[in-house]
Structure 1
Amino acid sequence: MDILITGGAGFVGSNLAIYLQKMADNITVVDDLSKGVYKNLEGFEGDVVVADISKENMDWEHYLDFEPDYIFHQASNTDTTYPDDKEMLRSNIESFRNILEFAINSQAKVIYASSAGVYGKGTIPMSENSQRDPKNAYAFSKYIMENMARKYTENYDLECVGLRYFNVYGPRESFKGKAASMIYQLALQMKELKRPRIFEFGEQFRDQIYIKDVVEANIEAMEAPSGVYNVATGKPTSFNKIVEVLNKVLGTNLEPDYIKNPYTQFYQDQTLADVSLAASKMGFVAKYDIESGIEDYMRWLGFV
Structure 2
Amino acid sequence: MIIVTGGAGFIGSNLVAGLNDAGVEDILIVDSLGSSGKFKNLRGLKFLDFMDKSDFMVSLKRGGLAGKKIRAVFHQGACSDTLNPDGNYMMENNYRYSADLLNFALSGGIPFIYASSASVYGSGTRGFREEPACEFPLNLYAFTKHLFDAHIRRVLPHCGSQV
| Pairwise same-fold verdict (TM > 0.5) | yes
2:10 & 2:37 partners in 1: Cα distance?
A: 7
Shift of 1:139: 0.3
2:128 & 2:37 partners in 1: Cα distance?
A: 29
- Aligned equivalent of 1:4: 3
The normalised TM-score by structure 2 is: 0.83
Q: Secondary structure at the match of 1:121?
A: coil
Distance 1:38 1:63, change over 3 A: farther
- Aligned equivalent of 2:21: 22
- Mapping for residues 148-167 of structure 1, pairs under 5 Å: 148-160=151-163
What RMSD over aligned residues (CA atoms) do the two structures have, in Å? 2.6
Shift of 1:121: 1.7
Q: Is the 8 A contact 2:3 2:70 kept in 1?
A: yes
Distance 1:60 1:112, change over 3 A: farther
2:136 & 2:43 partners in 1: Cα distance?
A: 38
Distance 1:151 1:57, change over 3 A: farther
Amino acid at match of 1:143: H
- Mapping for residues 203-242 of structure 1, pairs under 5 Å: none
- Mapping for residues 129-148 of structure 1, pairs under 5 Å: 129=131, 131-148=134-151
Higher share in strand: 1
Q: Secondary structure at the match of 2:21?
A: coil
Q: Secondary structure at the match of 1:39?
A: helix
Is 1:84 paired with 2:108? Answer: no
Q: Is the 8 A contact 2:59 2:65 kept in 1?
A: no
Is 1:111 paired with 2:129? Answer: no
- Aligned equivalent of 1:235: none
Shift of 1:112: 0.4
Runs of at least 5 residues in structure 1 that lack an aligned partner in the other structure:
161-304
1:48 & 1:55 partners in 2: Cα distance?
A: 13
Shift of 1:133: 0.3
- Aligned equivalent of 1:52: 54
Q: Secondary structure at the match of 2:151?
A: helix
- Aligned equivalent of 2:40: 39
Q: Is the 8 A contact 1:9 1:37 kept in 2?
A: yes
1:148 & 1:125 partners in 2: Cα distance?
A: 21
1:36 & 1:158 partners in 2: Cα distance?
A: 35
Tell me which moved more, 142-151 or 59-68: 59-68
- Mapping for residues 278-293 of structure 1, pairs under 5 Å: none
Q: Is the 8 A contact 1:9 1:36 kept in 2?
A: no
Amino acid at match of 1:131: C
Q: Is the 8 A contact 2:19 2:25 kept in 1?
A: no
Q: Is the 8 A contact 1:7 1:13 kept in 2?
A: yes
- Mapping for residues 256-295 of structure 1, pairs under 5 Å: none
Amino acid at match of 1:81: L
Distance 1:60 1:25, change over 3 A: farther
Shift of 1:58: 2.9
Q: Is the 8 A contact 1:7 1:75 kept in 2?
A: yes
Q: Is the 8 A contact 1:6 1:75 kept in 2?
A: yes
2:37 & 2:162 partners in 1: Cα distance?
A: 27
Shift of 1:64: 7.8
Shift of 1:86: 2.0
Amino acid at match of 2:39: Y
Higher relative contact order (CA 8 A, sep 6+): 2
1:84 & 1:54 partners in 2: Cα distance?
A: 23
Higher share in helix: 2
Tell me which moved more, 127-136 or 29-38: 29-38
Kindly provide the CA deviation profile for residues 165-215 of structure 1, in whole angstroms up to 9, marking residues without a partner as x.
xxxxxxxxxxxxxxxxxxxxxxxxxxxxxxxxxxxxxxxxxxxxxxxxxxx
The normalised TM-score by structure 1 is: 0.47
Count of residues in Structure 1 that have an aligned counterpart in Structure 2: 159
Q: Is the 8 A contact 2:126 2:134 kept in 1?
A: no
Distance 1:28 1:57, change over 3 A: closer
